[in-house]
Structure 1
């Protein structure tokens, strides 16, 4: 400043005091910075008393970012503005709303996260429950389907078994009916054949009787009747008949009867050797022996023929008990 004064004096210009620089912006800036520091200190103290450390850290991060501009007041070293610091007292009024508004904000993310977590857990629980119910329903349907299939299979088996039994019963009844009809037919054929045989025998008997009666009425007639009554009978023929009858005679009685019991029978036969009738002429005195001989004669039909192929239509045959030994 002395140099300036000298220069001005040397030039002959009048001396004037240069104007002081305007300090109000610096003062205002200093006041604002101090007010902000006080407000932050008050908020920090209140925050430490009411909020957890984690919340305090989050708030300080935000305030630190917003408080970055304070390094600007470089001319703060001047001591003059310090006495004027009391005016920042009304600053807390402007700072009071932030604690009320900002206090619940740190909990909001936790509540939202908790709600989201609960929502997801509830959704997962519902999904698990729905999946469990779905599986139970599927299992129930599968069991019902299996039970239905088993019942249908059992019903089919019963129906098949019943149908098979009915078919077997029907087949058995048909077979029984056929057998009955066959038996009935055989019996009818047998009766018919027996009737025809009986008729044939009766005709032969009638013819034989006519022949016998005719021979008796005509003593001069010749033929088989004469042969039957004549004593000239082939001994070999008689022996053959006796041997056959003996082979068919079964006598279970004792053969130690006194004497030699003899049974005499008249036998009528056809030209073929078939026996028409057997009649007992004389009993041996032993009925069981007589019956055995008669049955043996009947079983011997047809009787043997002569060497020339002829037969005696009427024969008188004697059988001795001792001959059966």
Structure 2
């Protein structure tokens, strides 16, 4: 290559090594492709698209004209280095994944993650429902237990109440029996006292008759000589009568003995009405009426018979 003289303008030297420059360009592209392939396969993440811009070494722009330079010594010729040996391409170069394949893989991965998430949520929901069922079952068992205990307590309370009522009933029955026994004993004592009084009265009357009379003592058969006296006795007995029957044909007769004070000492039924309830009610009313009313002069009829008609006692 010849150089221009210092006296003339600068000119671009002609390219006499075009083949060598093309070979160097091809070698550089091969090395670049190799580095890209190795880098893609060594990376653990998804490959990314790489763009490479190829420059044509043949195209050169003309340098702008240099200003005139002072005269200088001619430069030595540039040292030409031998081209690097061509690098053989690898045995197999895998094609880079295309953008649609990458998007599909990402979509599959996202769908898989969503599916796994849905399965986890479903498992959590099933677990919550199972826990809720177990809690509901425990609550039902608790309520059933409380109900059974309540029923047991109520049953026990009823049994205790029933036993208490039975005891009270038994005690009342015993008291009634005791009272009835006491009443019978009292009545027996009154009857005995009445018999003694009657015997004493008869002895007195008999003694009086033997001492100064020659007739027999007339026995009173009822307060017939004094209508007011009889009415007073009937009125008091009627006030103590407790009977709910309505049969006006009932009639009962009783013999009554009393002390001079009006205290009744004996009641004896001489003729029944045919209705035991009515007869008992009249007898109880006679006993409740003791002492009986006296006459206007303060005396009483010791023994008398009287009839009790239902129609007269209304």
Specify the TM-score bucket, using the shorter chain as the normaliser: 0.5 to 0.7
Measured on the aligned residues, the alpha-carbon RMSD in Å equals 5.2
Change (3 A) 1:67 1:266: closer
Cross-structure match for 1:169: 159
Q: What corresponds to 1:308 in structure 2?
A: 297
How many Å apart are 1:185 and its aligned residue? 1.5
Greater fraction helix? 1
Deviation at 1:107, TM superposition (A): 1.8
Decide whether aligned partners of structure 1 residues 174 and 267 sit closer, same or farther in structure 2, where only a CA change above 3 A counts.
closer
Distance 2:138 2:249 in 1: 79
Residues 254, 71 of structure 1: alpha-carbon distance in 2 compared, 3 angstrom cutoff? closer
Instruction: Report if the CA contact (8 A) 2:209-2:216 is conserved.
Output: no
Separation in 2, partners of 1:148, 1:310: 90
Hey, what does 1:32 align to over in structure 2? 20
Relative distance call for 1:135 and 1:227 in structure 2 (3 A) is farther
User: What CA distance in whole angstroms lies between the structure 1 residues aligned with 2:175 and 2:132?
Assistant: 62
User: Does the Cα contact within 8 Å between 1:266 and 1:314 map onto a contact in 2?
Assistant: yes
Aligned to 1:143: 133
Quote the Cα distance in structure 1 between the aligned partners of 2:282 and 2:296.
23
1:110-121 correspondence runs (5 A)? 115=105, 117-121=107-111
Asked if the contact 1:269–1:314 (Cα under 8 Å) also holds between the matched residues in 2, the reply is: yes
CA distance in 2, matches of 1:237, 1:144: 97
Alignment check: 8 A CA contact 2:229 2:295 kept: no
Contact kept? 2:258, 2:266, Cα under 8 Å = yes
Give the structure-1-normalised TM-score. Answer: 0.55
In the alignment, what sits opposite 2:41? none
Q: TM-score, normalised by structure 2?
A: 0.56
The equivalent residue for 2:78 is none
User: For residue 179 of structure 2, what is the aligned residue in structure 1?
Assistant: 189
- Asked if 2 retains the 8 angstrom alpha-carbon contact of 1:39 and 1:95, the reply is yes
Deviation at 1:34, TM superposition (A): 3.8
Note the 1:1-325 alignment, pairs <5 A: 26-28=15-17, 30-35=18-23, 61-62=51-52, 65-67=53-55, 69-72=57-60, 94=86, 97=89, 100-101=92-93, 104-107=94-97, 115=105, 117-217=107-207, 219=209, 229=218, 237=226, 239-241=228-230, 244-245=233-234, 252-253=248-249, 267-270=256-259, 271-274=261-264, 276-278=266-268, 280=270, 299-300=285-286, 301-302=289-290, 303-315=292-304, 317=305
Count of matched residue pairs: 248
2:74 corresponds to: none
Partner of residue 69, structure 2: none
1:264·1:318 contact (CA, 8 Å) conserved in 2?
Answer: yes
Q: Distance in 1 between matches of 2:143 and 2:253?
A: 81
Which structure has the bigger radius of gyration? 1
Q: Shift of residue 72 of structure 1?
A: 3.8
CA distance in 2, matches of 1:297, 1:159: 56
Pair 120,157 (structure 1): closer, same or farther in 2 beyond 3 Å:
same
Q: 1:132 deviation in Å?
A: 0.7
Q: Is the 8 A contact 2:258 2:302 kept in 1?
A: yes
Do 1:267 and 1:277's aligned partners in 2 also have CA atoms closer than 8 Å?
yes
Unaligned ranges ≥5, structure 1: 5-20, 41-57, 76-90, 256-262
Contact kept in structure 2, 1:273 and 1:311, CA below 8 Å: no
1:288 shift after superposition: 5.5
Per-residue CA shift, 1:160-186, capped at 9, x if unaligned? 122123213312321231232123223
Q: Distance in 2 between matches of 1:73 and 1:311?
A: 175
